[in-house]
Amino acid sequence: MVFGGDAVRTSIVVCTFNRIEWLPQCLASLIIQNPLPDEIIVVDGPSVDGTRELLEEMERDGVLKLIRQKQLDGISAARNLGLAAATGDIVCFIDDDALAQPGWLKAVLDGYVDETVGGVGGPVHHMDGRLCMGRNAVSTEGLWFDESRNEQTDGCYPVMVGCNMSFRRRPLVDAGGFDPYFMYHQDETDACLGVLRLGYRIQYQEGAVVWHEWCEGSYRKDMLRWYIRLRYLWGRNNSYLVRKHFGTSVPFFRYCGNRAAAFINRRRVATESPGEKMRTDPRLPPFLSYVGVLSEACGLLQGWRDARLHRLDGSRPPEPVQRLA
């Protein structure tokens, strides 16, 4: 791909851990893209199910660049390792249980013709082809809205789904990369807002399609503990995000009121991830729902406090958009 007479290099980053059943399919979908990526970087941390051996063999064959993570430290830390190793002008991120569909990389690159575009993403489908997430935007309360579900996004901020997102490398680095505070949930939202803050736009490309399995990870083996932990992280990360980017325009008590109203109206992240399925599963014991609410409330207080300790007050929020690009 050539922009303005200069050849554009592309890097694809995949973060993985013990996904030997899915990672080969993901990588296979990447090496048949047209155009081919200039490099595929896999951050492995540290797998013991045969994944590491597979990646070392592929590295010897020159298929990919392997980054050996010493210990698990959250998705943001892993993505930052991949970003630091990337040499491409455009850096794409895809999950290890996702499949890039034919034409995915070309559609992504087509979105960067305009130099004001700092990030390009596309729709995410289930493995049977059904649309899961389309054009997304986030409000000043950290709530996601999806146009494909007829949800209004006017006045919100365009964001991309973590399993199907890309950035110009320089703006992403200048924005600080991925904040390690977000070990899970809202990590991609924070990165998008950081790039928007620098004056770049987020572009949505309908043809940049990824199919996603939403596989169980090792941290989800104990579903009860994982659900409670997930609700805590929803509350903690969301309040941290809001105070970091919108703190001056969304005071604490207003934020708490908005979150309570959102819970009552069931307005949450528009996705059918395992966590969302479990939250709405009719078999979920009623008492567990109450425990989840309490856990989320504790996380909300912690996240707001952590943002204050980190001296984040949202004094320079990005400009909202009336219509996503």
Query: Per DSSP, what are the bridge partners of residue 90?
Result: 10, 168
Helix (H) or strand (E) holding 173: helix 169-174
Residue spans of the domains in the chain: they are 2-212, 221-309
On the question of pLDDT at 265 being above 60, the answer is yes
Tokens 């050996």 correspond to 68
Rounded CA gap, 13 and 16, in Å? 10
Whether the predicted pLDDT of 191 surpasses 70? yes
Quote the CA–CA distance of 108 and 111 in Å, as a whole number: 5
Edge-to-edge strand ranges of the sheet holding 39-44: 65-68, 39-44, 10-16, 90-94, 164-168, 117-121, 201-204
Q: Give 58-75 pLDDT, tens digit per residue.
A: 999 999 999 999 999 999
Give the Cα separation of 270 and 264 in Å (integer): 16
| pTM (2 d.p.) | 0.89
Q: What is the CATH number of domain 2-212?
A: 3.90.550.10
Give the C-alpha separation, 34 to 224, whole Å: 43
DSSP state of 242: H
Length of the chain (residues)? 325
Does position 55 have pLDDT exceeding 50, yes or no? yes
pLDDT digit string, tens, across residues 302-312: 999 999 988 87
Task: With beta carbons less than 8 A apart as the criterion, state whether 115 and 171 touch.
Answer: no
pLDDT confidence band for 3 (50 / 70 / 90):
low
Strand boundaries in 52-121, DSSP class E? 65-68, 90-94, 98-100, 117-121
